[in-house]
């Protein structure tokens, strides 16, 4: 690999954007070969790069983890006001970041990776990737409310109508939802627009990857078959 600027290298490894990489370098949390990195330096895949004490895998070493994010953990890289953040909860030798958020009060499956191309492909709304949730509300559902939810709800705060979605009622107050978009706090906003308050929200699937038997706070590496299918559905190739 030819020499590239450190911020571009960090971005190519899926750590963050170039702008955020510059901020990390300014904060002094990036080291190259044991030395605190300076702005503008260039590196290759042969250099040892660490961010906040975690080694950065080269851009060709793809890592994808399935993580059960507990309630109370915030999807952010750095927040002085958050008691628990994702970046500090996962003890993995390679630095990874989240591909799609879950809000603080929600729990369930979060995919973590060091592949920036995968993150971009998963976050692109036009790709309509499926995400599945179990939603429990405080009141009993009505068929009229569920019908409107399936067809799409206009959200005043965001000035947008949600895409049609799949909903299966599992109990008087519990439904399974499959969304193909990721608006900010979308499910909670949709329920609120129908007069329902969410009691608990758990994400159980992202595209082809399922939460399965993971417990809160646990993570696992994706199997080779899962990786191959995930990359294929995202329109990407992965080295065999």
Q: Which fold has domain 64-125+212-233?
A: Alpha-Beta Plaits (3.30.70)
How long, in residues, is the chain?
240
Instruction: List 114's β-bridge partners, or say none.
Output: none
Beta pairing, strands 198-206 & 107-113: parallel
Query: CA 207 to CA 51: how far, in whole Å?
Result: 29
4-55 and 130-206 in the same fold: no
CATH number of the domain at 4-55, out of 3.30.530.20, 3.10.290.10, 3.90.1150.10, 3.10.20.600?
A: 3.10.290.10
pLDDT digits (tens, 9 = 90+) for 5-43: 999 888 877 777 788 889 999 999 999 999 999 999 999
**Known catalytic residue: 103?**
yes
- pLDDT confidence of residue 64: 93
Of residues 87, 141, 108, the one with CA closest to residue 210: 108
**Residue range 130-206 in CATH 3.30.70.1560:** yes
Catalytic residue among 20, 47, 79, 103: 103
Q: Per-residue pLDDT averaged across 132-154, rounded?
A: 97
- The pTM assigned to this predicted structure is 0.77
Residue 53 has pLDDT above 60, yes or no: yes
**What are the sequence ranges of the domains in the chain?**
4-55, 64-125+212-233, 130-206
Q: Mean pLDDT across the chain, nearest whole number?
A: 90
Query: CA 158 to CA 145: how far, in whole Å?
Result: 20
CA-to-CA separations, 20 to 23, 30, 122, 124, 169, in angstroms, rounded = 5, 12, 20, 20, 42
DSSP class of residue 61 equals: S
């Amino acid at each position: 690999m030819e020499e590239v600027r450190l911020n571009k290298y960090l971005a190519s490894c899926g750590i963050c954007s170039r702008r955020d990489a510059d901020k990390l370098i300014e904060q002094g949390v990036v080291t190259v070969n044991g030395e605190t990195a300076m702005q503008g330096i260039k590196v290759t895949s042969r250099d040892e790069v660490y961010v906040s004490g975690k080694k950065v895998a080269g851009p060709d070493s793809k890592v994808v983890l399935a993580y059960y994010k507990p309630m109370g953990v915030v999807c952010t890289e750095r927040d002085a006001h958050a008691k628990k953040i994702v970046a500090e909860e996962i003890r993995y030798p390679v630095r990874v970041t989240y591909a799609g958020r879950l809000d603080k009060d929600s729990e369930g499956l979060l995919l973590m990776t060091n592949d920036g191309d995968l993150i971009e492909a998963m976050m692109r709304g036009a790709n309509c990737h499926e995400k599945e949730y179990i939603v429990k509300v405080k009141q009993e559902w009505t068929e009229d409310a569920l019908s409107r939810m399936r067809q799409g709800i206009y959200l005043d705060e965001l000035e947008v109508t949600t895409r049609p979605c799949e909903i299966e009622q599992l109990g008087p107050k519990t439904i399974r939802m499959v969304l193909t978009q990721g608006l900010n706090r979308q499910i909670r906003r949709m329920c609120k627009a129908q007069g329902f308050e969410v009691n608990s929200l758990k994400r159980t699937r992202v595209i082809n990857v399922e939460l399965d038997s993971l417990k809160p706070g646990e993570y696992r590496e994706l199997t080779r078959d899962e990786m191959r299918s995930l990359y294929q559905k995202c329109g990407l190739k992965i080295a065999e």
